[in-house]
Structure 1
């Protein structure tokens, strides 16, 4: 079903215990992806604009909402969330941003993803009707009249590019991907109150706001450098699967991070470490550094196979900075082997529906992008 009143009503009934659990699937998905999700997650019924059909072999659940992950490994996983986890997260979010009863939230993110779903839950707890947009339109968002909105960085960028009055929102929750420092500075200069968030489906959405955990959420960094999270916002398991990355009460994420002064900084994903000539490079760290260059509006960093070095560091950039610019800039702040060897200039960073960069697409060298590369040099040299 498309986003709208029917889904909001289903979520309301699920949270109250009066209705069945909800597994939202976007109608924009390819038919094969929808069929794969249904086959893997085995709902008892499927609701479409044509009505409700019973699914043979479907299995009931104790969850309230199930969020299907992007399925980058080929088979989607269903993150099972209870009403307690969802409402604990939403209530802590409302408290942190100071949202008042009756204030309206805008849902312009897919409710099949946790970021969009939580807008619906916050609206229910606020006693307000959400404003739901089936598609993102910067002009429509600017004219929505909403008090609060949840966006990904690309959407905020588009609002700023059309000159939208971003100060009209009491809060802009920004998540899904790391925000370039220049974007945050530009938004602040335009009067926006932006709150950056970190979280995932397994934590009922954002559970760390501006580096500080929400109430009743605990954070620590494991011996392996991974971010670990505990609290009532955690999921109860993966649908019909035995794997559950929990160590005691801690959910072990796939993200590397550090906690300094009580605030979390996420360095990047543990599986996004680039091995170039035997040297380990955290892609997220390089991207964060390059984002500080004045000629970079947006950037993503990935590793690509290379016959000589195993992998090379590639920066995909929206902006005007050249390879030489970024290599000099990076070497002043990072080890020389972490400087990009290839820079590709693109009009926008390809993104998944949840707003995160499409790393699988970025790892494939596009034929249309303007690209420059540096000559080979031993790792660690300048």
Structure 2
């Protein structure tokens, strides 16, 4: 089956190609960093999505027609059917799924063209209002937290942006953890938010507000979140070692015997044939609801003690003015490694830098212990992000190292 690279991020071009790929009438699409990929893929492939990820390591994920369609149908089963607004890059899985859901529902998506701004978002959202046989057609969209933060800030003085937020039946928010304070702001503004958890390997969000979608199974093995179901990717292109396990199959429900993925393979099978994706995320079930605690491997060793930077970051983001801060690890002459808070200068300067750092350190000490306290607060003009809207953590870390 032919793989056709799509250069650039034109949503209309991707939508045209995706229509053929989903229906089997056209070639599979290669999105992202696809220049080095061969020109043929296995039958049934719809898209190969290559992303750099927040750590800068490229991955080419093979997504079948069946997996993408299963994800779209499960989303409609959970939140309902209607019209979608694309406000994310379509070469990333969250944006791609907006187009897939539209095609599966046989509706043309609304497309936010050009750079994302609250005003452009509001104009596109408010243009979507329509009816079918006298019934209003529900509207939906998908955002990352950074976009939602901009919209909430703008809504404080722009009524059109507030009306746009309230116009959606559901706004899916994923890509990274949504700070509790931001969720509260959104709900106070009348927005109906559903937090999603998933990855390119799961065809996008597959757990909504902590509950798996229809057909999706989630388990915790040695603290790691693992996912099974029809939404799983076929694997990684030209990377058999990470796709097919070299170890014998796990017994159903058996532990892998490690705190994270053992060896390179991230797709494994139980003895009963069930195929699981090992996410590398730490998590637990709380009253039947999945709680994701961050990356297993996003850990520093400070003074001989393991510290989860994701956990520190979640606590730091509860401090006023630091709700979008990023916490990175850097070498430290005394402790080996230490954590550093990096925040936007415009947000942080609303309050004293010294006060914010002290409040963050106190909060981390209270929740984790004194050993996990961030060493300093670094202010930058703007936090670097990936095209998907996620923080570019490796670029942010390099910028902090350059200041030393």
Query: Given the two structures, how large is their TM-score scaled by the length of structure 1?
Result: 0.84
2:387 — aligned with what? 353
* Residue 325, structure 1, aligned to residue 359, structure 2: yes
1:121 to 100, 124, 131: 100
Q: Kindly tell me: are residues 74 and 288 of structure 1, through their superposed partners in 2, closer, same or farther at Cα, counting changes over 3 Å?
A: closer
- Are 1:65 and 2:47 an aligned pair? yes
Corresponding position of 1:111: 90
Distance 1:74 1:214 in 2: 29
CA distance in 1, matches of 2:194, 2:47: 25
1:289 is the counterpart of 2:281? no
Distance in 1, Cα, partners of 2:46 & 2:356: 49
Counterpart in the other structure of 1:139: 119
Structure-2 change in CA distance of 1:304 and 1:74 (3 Å): closer
CA distance in 1: counterparts of 2:195 and 2:11, whole angstroms: 26
* Structure 2 contact 203–232 (Cα < 8 Å) conserved: yes
Determine the structure 2 residue equivalent to 1:4: 11
Aligned to 1:214: 213
**Is the 8 Å Cα contact of residues 328 and 341 (structure 2) preserved in structure 1?**
yes
Count of residue pairs brought into register by the alignment? 340
1:19 to 4, 26, 38: 26
Q: Separation in 2 of the partners of 1:251 and 1:367?
A: 34
Contact 1:177 1:355 in 2 (8 A): no
Q: Does 1:237 pair with 2:228?
A: no
Task: Verify the 8 A CA contact 1:298 1:349 in the aligned structure 2.
Answer: no
Answer yes or no: is 1:271 the counterpart of 2:297. yes
- 1:77 CA drift (Å): 2.3
The partner residue of 1:150 within 134, 142, 152 is 142
CA distance in 2, matches of 1:240, 1:8: 26
Does residue 300 (structure 1) correspond to residue 337 (structure 2)? The answer is: no
Q: Which of these residues, 140, 143, 159, is aligned with residue 151 of structure 2?
A: 159
RMSD of Structure 2 on Structure 1 (CA): 2.0
Q: Match of 1:377?
A: none
The Cα of 1:74 is off from its aligned counterpart by: 6.3
1:129 deviates by: 0.3
Instruction: Kindly state the Cα deviation for residue 317 of structure 1 after the two structures are TM-superposed.
Output: 2.9
Instruction: Give yes or no for the alignment of 1:82 onto 2:64.
Output: yes
With over 3 angstroms needed to count, the CA separation of the structure-2 counterparts of 1:116 and 1:232, relative to structure 1, is same
1:55-112 Cα shifts (integer Å, max 9, x gaps)? xxxx33331111102166766321001111001111111121122xxx3211121111
Change beyond 3 A, Cα 1:207–1:65: same
Counterpart CA distance in 2 for 1:219 and 1:300 is 28
Partner residue of 2:288 out of 262, 265, 273: 262
Conserved? CA contact 2:235–2:267, under 8 Å: no
User: Secondary structure of 1:345's partner?
Assistant: strand
SS of 2:323's partner is strand
The change in CA–CA distance for 1:153 and 1:72 in structure 2 (over 3 A counts) is closer
* 149-158 vs 301-310, greater mean Cα deviation: 301-310
Residue by residue, what CA displacement relative to the aligned partner does 1:11-47 show, whole Å, maximum 9, x if unpaired? 011000111101123xxxxxxxx5xx311x22x3xxx
